[in-house]
Amino acid sequence: MACDQYSCALTGPVVDIVTGHARLSDIWAKTPPITRKAAQLYTLWVTFQVLLYTSLPDFCHKFLPGYVGGIQEGAVTPAGVVNKYQINGLQAWLLTHLLWFANAHLLSWFSPTIIFDNWIPLLWCANILGYAVSTFAMVKGYFFPTSARDCKFTGNFFYNYMMGIEFNPRIGKWFDFKLFFNGRPGIVAWTLINLSFAAKQRELHSHVTNAMVLVNVLQAIYVIDFFWNETWYLKTIDICHDHFGWYLGWGDCVWLPYLYTLQGLYLVYHPVQLSTPHAVGVLLLGLVGYYIFRVANHQKDLFRRTDGRCLIWGRKPKVIECSYTSADGQRHHSKLLVSGFWGVARHFNYVGDLMGSLAYCLACGGGHLLPYFYIIYMAILLTHRCLRDEHRCASKYGRDWERYTAAVPYRLLPGIF
Ligand code: NDP
């Protein structure tokens, strides 16, 4: 509403309400409602992504060297299940964007500004899907779970709804809720939303600013990286440890596409053109952040895949051998990496992510607070995630984790935190 009615000034509605120029109900009354067009568009969008996910086995891994797609295995769940996944996110992203560009340059079926033009009506649709999928996941967890032994019931209804009951809810053999909802429709949409914002900026101001180009390019790198490494994503906290509830279901449908794209939306209302040094600085910060994020994640992945038989920064990695007991009472062995970025701080991958996030925000200049939402949110998310993960690792590995924290004393920033 701040963007739609106050050109992205967060203080605008507050000042109006405090000074009596508007009531909350006036602002609410001006909010665009859900429309038939938005509902049709959204249904078409989600159906298209479901079809790409379920009906088109991956062919990208057959011709893209280094890309790992097709049928892949996830991590062992606490109950000892190993799920198989059809990794075809890169293909879905490529086909969707091919269609988008074909439409923009040849077919002209719809305007490239279509997402911006229906932004708030689509928000209602995304909410309906977000709540529907979270509620369905809850009911499914109680009545027909995919793997009953991996369900978690806490006794608190709201906690169960928010954090989820089922670990890997599925419909049929292949439709995995976590993989589908996290990657598509939210992350595939991310780059399309940004392209639509760029098209709208050009329509309104007759050019696309360098800030808009930077936001589009830096976020596209992050999105493509996600799909290129979708197999690696199977080993992240979202898939390996979190249950599927409102936190992931609603978050993927609404939070991610609507709040991760605020910089592009802001730039439609404020066509910031950066000076060359400012633009180069933002680009460098974004690229260095991305480099740290990618290399740190790759180091851990390589280390775990090869069971430590690899080189990190050209040397044999330092290792802490550790063991833990799973829910079924079995004893397992694992290894913690103490070299590379994992020897600099225990979650230096998050630092790279934060640098990239800051770059998107800095691309919007210093006029308003709203585009800085992303870095504030990511700092909270990743600090909380870091503490949550460390708590889990400490109870999983016990003394072995203490040896790791003694060897690498800082969580995020050496000497600070
Ligand atoms: P990590 O990739 O940091 O994974 C943490 C897990 O790795 C731990 O639970 C532990 O699992 C294992 N581990 C921890 N330390 C070591 C070590 N030294 N050596 C080997 N294994 C270790 O966390 P996430 O899954 O949260 O994040 C993955 C990436 O995704 C990050 O770069 C993050 O920035 C990004 N991300 C982005 C988000 C966004 O919204 N943009 C949201 C969330 C994440 P185990 O039990 O196997 O030992």
List pLDDT tens digits, range 225-259.
Answer: 999 999 988 888 888 888 999 999 999 999 999 99
pLDDT of 31 higher than 80: yes
Mean predicted confidence (pLDDT) in 181-195: 94
Burial (0-12, 13-18, 19+ Cβ within 10 Å), 164: buried
Residues having CB within 6 Å of any atom of ligand 1: 236-237, 293, 297, 300, 334, 336-337, 342, 347, 349-350, 353, 382, 385, 389, 393, 396
For residue 378, the tally of other CB atoms under 10 A from its CB is 20
Q: Ligand 1, closest atom to CA 296?
A: 32
Dihedral-angle region of residue 331 (phi above 0 means left; psi in -120 to 50 means alpha; beta otherwise): beta
Question: pLDDT for 81-132, tens place per residue?
Answer: 889 999 999 999 999 999 999 999 999 999 999 999 999 999 999 999 999 9
Q: Ligand 1, closest atom to CA 353?
A: 34
Confidence bin at 63 (pLDDT 50/70/90): very high
**What's the number of CA atoms in the CB half-sphere (13 Å) around residue 265?**
28
Mean predicted confidence (pLDDT) in 50-78: 93
